[in-house]
């Protein structure tokens, strides 16, 4: 059997702190009191929580052992499609911790914040250059909020023109947050089915686009990992009907430095800095989803915007057509600093190379695994490829079984059962930060799991078998969640 980095190594049990505590244990020494002792009225204080008594060693071992149960990008590879779980260079963490930046108070006057305002201004300029767009807001704190911001701008744009549009077109390969963002702005989502090649066909857009339709939300590359090759024809159709085009930039990792978003006909695009531009990702945040727009939509951007004047850098809030604030203060500033550091350290050539390597790695995984797993669409992929479990179902083995078995070999599972257009989907996104040796090990492990499906399917039904926690009942967890701890 081929093995990945996973093994039966040292995995220590760890009880709750309340079970470890013993009366009299302490982890600190109080300094000598230098003020008079005062009595406290117990009726005002009450008993308080029953915290366990612990020694310093108890506390250190507790959290160290818990950390050893964790899996992170510093531990191993994430073949996690759609989320770009790639390694983040530590230099960017160091830059975000620079005291003058990390300690900057958001209520300081502009004249006392020139350094961080300059950073924000230049980041706006860099993101505009990367996308080819004209103006940028750094406020949105996640990709979904970037989507919502763009939809709010679309709504404001048509209000300004006194046009009532109530529908928006959303392909079946869009991210799931797209229709939710549109609905929050009062737009009804009209689904579009992709063509036989897994991409949109202009004729389908032509049939649905009318004067009551706001426009279209396009993910490019789409969630199948395929580039929308007819994007310009599609955007031209929308624009002829007076509509706008929103670009979901969650997969920018595949086309950064390669594609001019504005020339494709996109009017607004969001970027996931916590995916493409090397900032922390996972556990719900922190995130950042800046929105880049054309000159026509620039007046509707959220405020404040950082502007450069003869007197220095200022926060501009006096924009009559702005949709207003979408985030307190100025967004997730520490994430913006990391992205700024990443862009400066990479430079334009290496940003482009990152995309090229992401696509190369995705294509390599596709080529090596297409004889083992059913390939949803056998055509050139971008940074990710989508397989299915249709071959393994003959042995009563599912995508979920194989994903769980990968855990035994030391891999975080890939995205499964998404996109919904592929039954039993297995989406693999290796990212540009993985070397060929590590990709080869992952590929051989995944092939070995497929072979195991034919020989010992019952073992896969029980996977994972060597982990601290075995397979959970995810259906019961969703239907009857335990909310009491």
Residues 248-299 pLDDT 10s: 999 999 999 999 999 999 999 999 998 899 887 655 567 899 999 999 999 9
pLDDT (0 to 100) of residue 485: 55
pLDDT (0 to 100) of residue 323: 97
Looking up tokens 């809030």 gives 317
Pairing of β 385-388 and β 188-192: unpaired
Q: Show me where the domains of the chain are located.
A: 91-345
pLDDT (0 to 100) of residue 369: 98
At residue 448, the 3 state secondary structure works out as helix
Helices (H), 329-386: 333-369
Residues 415 and 250 sit within 8 Å (Cβ to Cβ): no
What CATH number has the domain spanning 91-345? Answer: 3.40.640.10
pLDDT (0 to 100) of residue 13: 84
Helix (H) or strand (E) holding 452: helix 436-455
pLDDT (0 to 100) of residue 438: 95
pLDDT (0 to 100) of residue 284: 54
Per-residue pLDDT of the chain (485 residues; tens, 9 = 90+): 577 888 777 778 889 998 989 998 988 888 888 898 887 776 666 666 778 999 999 999 999 998 888 888 888 888 986 677 788 889 999 999 999 999 989 889 999 999 999 999 999 999 999 999 999 999 999 889 999 999 999 999 999 999 999 999 999 999 889 999 999 999 999 999 999 999 999 999 999 999 999 999 999 999 999 999 999 999 999 999 999 999 999 999 999 999 999 999 999 999 999 889 988 765 556 789 999 999 999 999 999 999 999 999 999 988 899 999 999 888 889 999 999 999 999 999 999 999 999 999 999 999 999 999 999 999 999 999 999 999 999 999 999 999 999 999 999 999 999 999 999 999 999 999 999 999 999 999 999 999 999 999 999 999 999 888 888 888 888 898 887 65
Whole-model pTM: value is: 0.90
pLDDT (0 to 100) of residue 56: 92
Ramachandran angles phi, psi of 136, nearest 5°: -140, 140
Long-range contacts of 434-443 (CB under 8 A, 24+ apart): 434/77, 434/361, 436/364, 438/77, 439/361, 439/364, 439/365, 440/368, 441/2, 441/4, 441/5, 442/4, 442/77, 442/79, 442/365, 442/411, 443/365, 443/368, 443/369
DSSP symbols for 309-332? ETTEEEEE---TT----SSSTTS-
Cα end-to-end span (Å), the chain: 39
pLDDT (0 to 100) of residue 45: 63
pLDDT (0 to 100) of residue 422: 96
What residues pair up with 213 in beta bridges, in sequence order?
167
């Amino acid at each position: 059997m081929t093995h990945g980095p996973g093994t039966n190594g040292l995995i220590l049990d760890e009880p709750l702190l309340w079970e470890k505590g013993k009366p009299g244990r302490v982890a600190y020494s109080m300094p000598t009191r230098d003020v008079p002792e005062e009595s406290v009225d117990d009726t005002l204080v009450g008993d308080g929580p029953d915290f366990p008594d612990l020694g310093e060693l108890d506390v250190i071992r507790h959290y160290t052992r818990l950390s050893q149960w964790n899996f992170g990008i510093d531990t191993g590879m994430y073949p996690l499609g759609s989320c770009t779980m790639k390694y983040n260079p530590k230099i960017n963490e160091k830059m975000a911790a620079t005291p003058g930046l990390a300690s900057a108070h958001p209520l300081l006057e502009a004249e006392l914040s020139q350094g961080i305002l300059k950073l924000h201004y230049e980041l706006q300029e860099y993101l505009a250059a990367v996308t080819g767009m004209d103006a940028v807001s750094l406020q949105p704190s996640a990709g979904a909020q970037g989507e919502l911001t763009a939809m709010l701008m679309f709504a404001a744009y048509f209000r300004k023109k006194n046009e009532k549009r109530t529908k928006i077109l959303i392909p079946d390969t869009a991210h799931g947050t797209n229709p939710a963002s549109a609905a929050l702005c009062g737009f009804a989502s009209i689904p579009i089915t992709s063509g036989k090649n897994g991409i949109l066909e202009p004729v389908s857009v032509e049939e649905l686009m009318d004067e009551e339709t706001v426009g279209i939300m396009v993910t490019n590359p789409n969630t199948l990992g395929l580039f929308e090759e007819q994007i310009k024809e599609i955007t031209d159709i929308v624009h002829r009907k007076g509509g706008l085009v929103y670009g979901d930039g969650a997969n920018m990792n595949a086309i950064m430095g390669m594609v001019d978003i504005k020339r494709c006909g996109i009017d607004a695009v969001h970027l996931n800095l916590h995916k493409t531009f090397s900032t922390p990702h996972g556990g719900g945040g922190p995130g950042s989803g800046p929105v880049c727009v054309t000159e026509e939509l620039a007046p509707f951007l959220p405020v404040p915007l950082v502007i450069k004047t003869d007197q220095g850098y200022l926060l501009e809030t006096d924009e009559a057509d702005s949709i207003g604030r979408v985030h307190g203060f100025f967004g997730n500033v520490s994430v913006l600093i990391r992205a700024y550091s990443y862009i400066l350290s990479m430079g334009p050539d290496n940003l482009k190379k990152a995309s090229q390597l992401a696509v190369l790695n995705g294509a390599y995984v596709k080529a090596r695994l297409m004889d083992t797993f059913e390939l949803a669409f056998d055509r050139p992929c971008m940074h990710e490829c989508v397989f299915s479990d249709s071959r393994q179902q003959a042995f009563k083995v599912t995508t979920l079984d194989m994903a769980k078995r990968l855990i035994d070999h030391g891999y975080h599972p890939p995205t499964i059962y998404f996109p919904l257009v592929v039954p039993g989907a297995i989406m693999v996104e290796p990212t540009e930060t993985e070397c060929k040796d590590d990709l080869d090990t992952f590929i051989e492990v995944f092939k070995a799991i497929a072979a195991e499906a034919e020989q010992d399917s019952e073992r896969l039904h029980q996977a994972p078998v060597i982990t601290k926690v075995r397979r959970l009942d995810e259906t019961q967890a969703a239907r009857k969640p335990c909310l009491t701890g």
